Chains A and B, each alone.
Chain A
Amino acid sequence: MSLAEAEAQELHLERPSSLSRDALDRFIHNKAAVVGVVVMVLLVLIAIFAPLIAPFGPQEQVGPLDSSNPAGPSAEHWMGLDEQGRDVFSRVVYGARLSLLVGLVSAAFGLSVGLVLGALAGYFGGWVETIIMRLMDIMLAIPALLLAIGLIALLGRGLVQIMIAVGITTIPVFARLLRGSILAQRESDYVLAARSLGVRGRRLLTVHILPNALAPLIVQATLVTATAIIDVAGLSFLGLGPAEPGLPEWGKMLADNATRLDRATHLVIFPGAAIVISVLGLNLIGDGLRESIDPKMRS
């Protein structure tokens, strides 16, 4: 047996685990992150099986149409009734569908557009980069919520419009993050090595650079999903949410009942709590991912 063989056999005994396995390992041992995953899994299950969980329909009138003094929580209606006599618990459960969908779609929209722009800027550089990045700077200079309000004014009210508006405000974050990440990878040795083997342009970008540059974006996407949920709730609260009356969206439920805060606290507390829980869950996952993926935080 040659020296090299002996060396490798020794290595073989304690072969290190793979990159993704390492990351998964760190993630699982992060208690906060696991809590976040459990919370989000529960919320997603609730959203999927809403018709089975909710005792009533979200628009179904089950109590008196008493707008001045809706009944509080009881054994029959866990979260009480609202001013139209609808079961709040059922509405919060159905609301999970809308709110999570809005958050995810907004973030996905921002991510995909930001990904393309960031990749173009980072890979090509020059005037392409200048134009894209200055555009991103301009977008960042406008407060996100104001930008979203302006966009809704332009696009009109509605579920799709609000997702696009919030999605657009998240583009610059993704674009900048990916550009920086690509710039760092572009000068790395393995890219030079690939080029010395004759690998070119698009293949170099998609096979070699992008997969190495994506990690920070995954983290950012979870965090952005959380802010998107808050933004949508905020826009709904400002009266810029989906126009359909009675739509069980958490932010809209808050907005509709803000004036009854003194008489019927339960109308605001439960949807509010739902928002807090889902955002907290996403943030916990995001932080956990950051810690497990980011090579700088590896011990």
Chain B
Amino acid sequence: MPLLSVRDLAVQFKTRKSTVRAVNGVSFDLDAGETLGIVGESGCGKSVTSLAMLGILPKAGRVTHGEVLFEDVDLLKVPDSQLRQVRGNDIAMIFQDPMTSLNPVLTVGRQITEALRKHMDMNKDEANKEAIALLDRVEIPAAKDRIEDYPHQFSGGMRQRVMIAMAISCHPKILIADEPTTALDVTIQAQILEVLKQLVAEENMALILITHDLGVVAGTCERTNVMYAGRFVESAPTPKLFAKPRHPYTLGLLKSVPRLDAARKEKLQPIGGTPLSMTSEIEGCAFAPRCIYATEESRTKTPELRRIDSDDHLVACWNPVQEEDMPRIEIVAARDEGVAG
């Protein structure tokens, strides 16, 4: 039985003029200790999915459908008081922008101990000790001296480490990292991912890594789900997804990433067109207007995720990418080790 099972989750945002269908029936399972990547472009519903699972959607947002089963309890149905026990304690989250995700008027120590004292019933001294230990674990040097510092006294990378320390403070079973490296420069990105990978392995946490960066999931996640217009369009073990993408959108994403090993004259191939407006009911496949593989069926019937090639490879497409078009990207072995570790 999976640790977390999301079934047919749908979220809508109501504005005065229209209804935005941000998430349109998302389903996935997550086992204990599994690392799952969710990839997609801006506005495809990645973040909203995770906020909905924790019940912290912005006010205009509403879950219209589906269930989120965590250890067999539907988080969407439990009272808020019970959900608060899950937040931070069982499922914790890291956000995109470390520069704004820490409260500027509280010391980092105070912010880390807040969760410890709430969920772990520690007194002030115990919590302080634990906070220092946590900062040590995320490799913030001289943790003891830095616990009294304010967020603005840390660099971006260091702040993200603090966020990670806060998130893992109560030994959650699931860690959701929403674009954890997007706001950081590349060298720091690698460090942060390394810290994340290490902690996930040590604590045997499950990780949901939300990103638009295929490079990030390549080195970190065992499985990757590709999201488009509020739905998963493809789900496969990460190496398989990179080597044999079957959904045209996945293929498009892979082709639009610059590669060091490409010939110099080879041009990037961006995906043409723009995503559909999500305010109207989508008929057929949402990607059809931008898709060169689209058939008549794509425009009228919405495809469901179904098995293709093997049991662990799912794709939602009427006319999947054929063998001869696949880019056959192999994930570098060094990164693969990280996945296993």
Chain A interface residues (CB < 8 Å from chain B): 2-5, 7-9, 11-12, 15-16, 18-19, 125, 187-190, 192-200, 207-208, 211-212
Contacts and interface: CB of A to CB of B under 8 A. Distances in A.
B88 interface: yes
Nearest to A12: B142
Interface of B: 51, 54, 56, 58-59, 80, 84-89, 92-93, 95-97, 100-106, 114-115, 118-119, 139-142, 146, 149-150, 152-155, 157-158, 161, 163, 166-167, 191
21 contacts: A5-B139, A7-B155, A8-B142, A11-B154, A12-B142, A16-B152, A18-B150, A19-B150, A190-B100, A193-B102, A193-B166, A196-B88, A196-B95, A197-B114, A198-B85, A198-B87, A199-B118, A200-B84, A207-B114, A208-B106, A211-B106
Nearest to A191: B103
Residues of A contacting B: mostly = helix
B100 A198 contact: no
Contacts of B85: 198
Given A5-B139, A8-B142, A187-B58, A195 B101 contact: no
B101 A190 contact: yes
Given A3-B191, A4-B139, A8-B141, A19 B105 contact: yes
B100 A207 contact: no
**Which 7 residue pairs of A and B lie closest in terms of their CB atoms, listed nearest first?**
A197-B88, A198-B88, A198-B87, A196-B93, A5-B141, A189-B100, A189-B101
A4 B191 contact: yes
A198 B97 CA distance: 19
A2 B136 CA distance: 13
A199 B114 contact: yes
Given A16-B152, A19-B152, A197-B114, A192 B88 contact: no
The residue in A9, A190, A199 that gathers the most chain B C-beta atoms within 10 A of its C-beta is A190
Contacts of A2: 139
A194 B103 contact: yes
Contacts of B101: 189-190, 192-193
Nearest to B140: A8
Given A7-B158, A193-B93, A196-B56, 12 more contacts: A4-B140, A4-B161, A8-B140, A8-B158, A16-B153, A190-B100, A192-B56, A193-B95, A198-B115, A199-B114, A207-B106, A212-B104
